[in-house]
């Protein structure tokens, strides 16, 4: 079941990247500026009395594309711990814990 979901997500990401080369390039430049200044290799952000660990970050238009074209089950998988980790490992260009 998850393999079909992963294929649908991967297809939408590839479609968005191909259709939006300028936005994708600008996103990568911004991502590099952020990851060059990471606190540590775990992408932790210091809060007041807690830490937030970022897993991945995607442009708003890609998020909108995914929401429009994926099923609620697909989105639930993507938002889950397992799906989020898969996405970050598979699409390193959106993984904020790795330097560009």
Q: Say if 100 falls within a structural domain.
A: no
Which burial class, exposed, middle or buried, applies to 87 when counting CB atoms under 10 A from its CB (0-12, 13-18, 19+)? buried
Q: Say if 76 falls within a structural domain.
A: yes
Say if residues 23 and 61 touch (Cβ distance below 8 Å). Answer: yes
pLDDT digit string, tens, across residues 8-64 = 999 999 999 999 999 999 999 888 777 666 555 555 555 545 555 678 899 999 999
What is the total residue count of the chain?
A: 100
Residue with tokens 């007041």: 48
Per the structure, the count of domains in the chain is 1
Q: Say if 99 falls within a structural domain.
A: no
Q: Say if 61 falls within a structural domain.
A: yes
Say if residues 36 and 100 touch (Cβ distance below 8 Å). Answer: yes
- Beta bridge mates, 95: 56
In this prediction, residue 96 carries a pLDDT of 79
Which candidate, 64, 89, 63, places its Cα nearest to that of 6?
89
Range of the domain at 36: 2-94
Q: Say if 9 falls within a structural domain.
A: yes
Q: Say if 29 falls within a structural domain.
A: yes
- Average pLDDT of 2-6? 95
């Amino acid at each position: 079941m998850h393999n079909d979901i992963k294929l649908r997500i991967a297809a939408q990401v590839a479609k968005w990247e191909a259709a939006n080369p300028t936005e994708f390039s600008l996103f990568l430049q911004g991502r590099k500026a952020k990851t060059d200044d990471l606190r540590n290799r775990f992408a932790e952000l210091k809060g007041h009395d807690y830490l937030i660990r970022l897993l991945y970050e995607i442009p708003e238009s890609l998020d909108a594309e995914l929401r429009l074209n994926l099923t609620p089950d697909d989105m639930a998988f993507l938002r889950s711990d397992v799906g989020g980790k898969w996405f970050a490992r598979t699409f390193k260009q959106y993984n904020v814990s790795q330097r560009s």
